[in-house]
Structure 1
């Protein structure tokens, strides 16, 4: 999404409003780059569960560079002679778990993170859905009870912001778009749902996700002797921008509304 005619300032106001809502210490925020090693991508299990959404960073093989420089070869949709150098990040919170691999936490924590993410969408692209997008997440690591409480608090915070902005929304139980719906992970996600989406006019703009101890166990992240449970409250920034554009029309009106919410939070 290209931000023009004042919409860049709307995005900044939106991010400040979200950060105010979650009231984290500034040291608890991190911005990640979008590159993931292929081994880490495999370790996450993303490629196995979502091969259709996986995006890779590729380069042209050295043996073919001369032909390209002479114009003898050209890129086309079906061109396949490439080397896979890295994967591209599909969700911001993944780098938190990778970065804490093998760690013993001395206390529960909430981490705020943001990153440009990539998914090879298999659905039509529009103002709400793109191949690359900005994901802002507030991630809890700790006990099962506290991880779930983080989601309930997140739902209440989203409700407060939506009400202030005059946005009608719904909450729906959801599951991730697994490539193979018959796998044990996919079946479990339907039998024991752990994801809720905040939906505006048919578009999911935020999600509330409880991962149980999946990442704590997979990456040996522990609180005491137990694998941590994790949960995250996620915001698709471009989807929120599209929603604000529909609601307010003009950037100045959207920015004023967001700043009014910030003032109310500070009061």
Structure 2
């Protein structure tokens, strides 16, 4: 999705509105890069659960460089001689957990973060769905009960915000699109759903995710005597802009509506 002119301003104002809704100081957000090492994507288990969505960054093999410089080779669908150097970030919150690996937090807290994310979507692309997008997240790290409370508060804040804007949405249970639905992680997700989505006219624009102590245990992140529990409220900013465009019609009307939020 190309964000042009005033819509770029909408994107910036939207971030400020969301920070205010979640009581986050405007200078407290961390912006992450979009790269993961091969070891990091492997440690996350993302390619195991979602190989169809995984994106990697490749370079042309050294032995092929001369052929390209002489015009004998070119990039096309048949060219396979590539070196996989890095993976591309599929979700912003992964950077938070990787950064805390083998550590202990002194007290529960909420991390505000944003990054450009990439997924090799297997569904039709449109204004809502793209291979790359901006994901802003509010990640809670601490105890189980409070992790779930963070999501409940997040839902209330999103609902209040959209009510003020006059936008009608629904909240629906959702499951991540596991490639192998018979895997243990996929089965657990189906048996005890931990993801809800805020849906506008059939399009998910935000998600509320409870990870239990999955990332705490996987990356040895502790609080007190146990592994931390985590949850996150995530916003696809381009999806919100697409929603605003459908609802308000243009950027100027959207900015005027956002200015009324209190």
Contact in 1 for aligned 2:19/2:25 (Cα 8 Å): no
Calculate the TM-score normalised by the size of structure 1.
0.97
Contact in 2 for aligned 1:28/1:110 (Cα 8 Å): no
Indicate yes or no: 2:210 matched with 1:210.
Answer: yes
How many equivalent pairs are there? 262
Q: What are the equivalent positions in structure 2 for 1:123-138 lying under 5 Å apart?
A: 123-138=123-138
Contact in 1 for aligned 2:105/2:221 (Cα 8 Å): yes
Shift of 1:4: 1.6
Contact in 2 for aligned 1:138/1:234 (Cα 8 Å): yes
Calculate the TM-score normalised by the size of structure 2.
0.98
Partner of 1:164 in structure 2? 164
Q: What are the equivalent positions in structure 2 for 1:24-173 lying under 5 Å apart?
A: 24-26=24-26, 28-173=28-173
| Structure 2 SS opposite 1:91 | coil
Contact in 2 for aligned 1:205/1:235 (Cα 8 Å): yes
Alpha-carbon RMSD across the aligned residues, in angstroms, is 0.8
Deviations 1:175-217 (A, max 9, x none): 1000000001101100000000000000000000000000000
Q: Give the distance between the partners of 1:88 and 1:111, measured in 2 at CA.
A: 21
Q: Give the distance between the partners of 1:161 and 1:26, measured in 2 at CA.
A: 18
Indicate yes or no: 2:192 matched with 1:219.
Answer: no
Shift of 1:27: 5.5
Deviations 1:89-146 (A, max 9, x none): 0000000000000111110010000000000000000000000000000000000000
Deviations 1:24-83 (A, max 9, x none): 245642000000001000000101000000000000011100000111001112321100
Partner of 2:249 in structure 1? 249
**Which ranges in structure 2 are unaligned for 5 or more consecutive residues?**
none
